[in-house]
Structure 1
C-alpha cells in the first residue's frame, strides 16, 4: 500500500514539474508578434494587464511576456497603430487597475453589466472552449458516449475549482443526483495526473490549456481529446473608460473586426492547437 502511494505521488510530482518555454508563443508571426510596435511609429501607448495562465499569457526568462492572448492583443494593437506594454497582477487586482485607469486593456474578458460601467468591450475575438480529455487507451470505449450517457454511467469527471464551464456542465454540477461524480482540483495539471492514474474517467479543460500541458509534458500518446467539446461565453478585449478615449477604443474595435474577417485571428488560434 505504501509503495503504491509513493508511485502515485511520484507520478503527480513528475507531471507538475516545471515545463520548458518552447511553444507557439515563441514563434514570430507576421500577424501577431509578442514584440511591441516601435515607439517612433505611434504615439498611442497601451498597457495590457496580465495574470499567469499558460498558454494564454506567461513569462519566460528575461521577462518577456508570451502567449495566445498576448499574440492576439498585440496583433490588434499593432493594427490600431498602438504600442503595447505589460503589467502583471491577479485578475482581481487587474480589474481594479482597469477601473482606475492604471492599465488600459485586458484580454479574455466576459462582458457584464457591472463591468460596462467602467469599461468598453470590443466585439468578441475568440470563444472560451472546453474539451473533454480521456486516456488514450479508453478513447474507443468512450468515443461515442454523450455527456448524458457518461453521467448516467456514473463516470468520474475531473474539473477545476471555481471554473465556469458553461450551462450544460453547470446543470449537472448543480444537480444533487450527479454532484458526487465531479472530482475537483486546484489546478489543471492535477486533473490530467488523475486521468493518467485512472482516478477519474475524463477531465474537462480549456482546450488550449489542455493542449499546452499535453505538449509540454509529452503526453500525446497517453491523453487525447474526446470528440465532445463545450463552448462557453465569447470573450472580448476589455478597455478602460478611465484611460482610453472613444476614438482609440473605436480603432481597437475596428482592428478586432478586421483581423477576424481576414482570418489572422484564426491562424494564431490554430498555432496553439497544432504547433
Structure 2
C-alpha cells in the first residue's frame, strides 16, 4: 500500500513538473506590436530597430530573458482588437484613456507623442487653440486617441472623420475633401515625402496636443507574470537612464525628419525627455 501511495505521489509530481515546464515554455516569449508609420515612437524599417518605445520594450524584454516576438504589420484598430483578445501581449506606444484602462494594463509613461495639424499650404490657417478647428472638417487614423480630454471635446464640438491608413489621410487633405489631417509630426513629414505631397501639404507649427505614451499589456495575455516583469523592467530602464539613452539615439533622426522650412514656436516645449 505504501509503495502504491509513493507511486501515485510520483506520478502526481511528474504531472506538476510537466505542467510547470509547459507553462515556462509557453511564457518564454511575448508578442509585441505597435502602430505603423509612427516614427519616432514605433516604426519598421528593416534595421532591427523599432522606434523609441519599440526599442525600449525590446531591450526590457531581453534584460529579463523574455524573447520579444514582433507581430505583423496591421491597421491600428486591428492591433488594439488583438491586444484586447490576447492575440498579442504588448503594444509599444499608445495613449491611455478611461475606456482603454478597462481593457488593458498600462506601464508608467515612457515618452511623449506630438500630434500636429496638417493642411494644404495654400489653405493654411491660424491654429493656437481647439476652438480654431470649429467649422472645419478634419481626419485622423481610425482608432487613434488624441487623449481623454481632446477626444471628448472633439466628439462634442468638432467634425473629424476616420480612415485606416496614412495614404488616405494625406490624400484626402490634398484633394480638398477635408480641411486638415491629424498625425504625428515626425512621421507625418516622412509620409508627405513618400507620397510626394511635401510641396503641397505642411504642418501647422503649434502642436495639437502632446500626450504621454505608454506600453499597453493585454489583460488576456497567456503570460501575466511575464508582462508584470516587463513593466517593472521598463521602470528600471527609466531610472537607470537606459530609456533616455534610447530616446537620445533618435534625436538626430528626429531633427533630420523636419524640413528646413519648419520652425517650432518659441514657447513650445521640447517633448524629448525622460518622464517619471
What band does the TM-score fall into relative to the shorter chain? 0.5 to 0.7
Q: Counterpart of 1:107?
A: 92
Contact persistence 1:122–1:256 (CA under 8 A) = no
**Cα deviation code 1:135-169 (max 9, x no counterpart):** 22334xx2466442342xx3332334443223235
Inter-partner Cα distance in structure 2 for 1:269 and 1:72: 15
Q: Secondary structure at the match of 1:227?
A: coil
Q: How many residues align?
A: 217
Q: Counterpart of 2:140?
A: 159
Larger proportion of strand? 1
* 1:84-233 alignment, distance < 5 Å: 84-88=68-72, 90-91=78-79, 92-97=81-86, 104-111=89-96, 121-139=106-124, 142-143=125-126, 146-151=129-134, 154-166=135-147, 167-168=149-150, 170-175=152-157, 178-179=158-159, 182-231=160-209, 233=211
The structure-2 alpha-carbon separation of the partners of 1:226 and 1:79, relative to structure 1 and needing over 3 Å to count, comes to farther
Structure 1 gap segments, 5+ residues each: 1-43
Inter-partner Cα distance in structure 1 for 2:145 and 2:86: 24
Deviation at residue 224 of structure 1 after TM alignment: 1.4
Inter-partner Cα distance in structure 2 for 1:272 and 1:160: 22
Inter-partner Cα distance in structure 1 for 2:101 and 2:155: 29
State the TM-score, normalized to the length of structure 1. 0.60
State the TM-score, normalized to the length of structure 2. 0.60
The structure-2 alpha-carbon separation of the partners of 1:133 and 1:249, relative to structure 1 and needing over 3 Å to count, comes to closer
The structure-2 alpha-carbon separation of the partners of 1:208 and 1:235, relative to structure 1 and needing over 3 Å to count, comes to same
RMSD value, Cα: 3.8
Inter-partner Cα distance in structure 1 for 2:213 and 2:188: 19
Contact persistence 2:117–2:207 (CA under 8 A) = yes
Q: Counterpart of 2:54?
A: 70
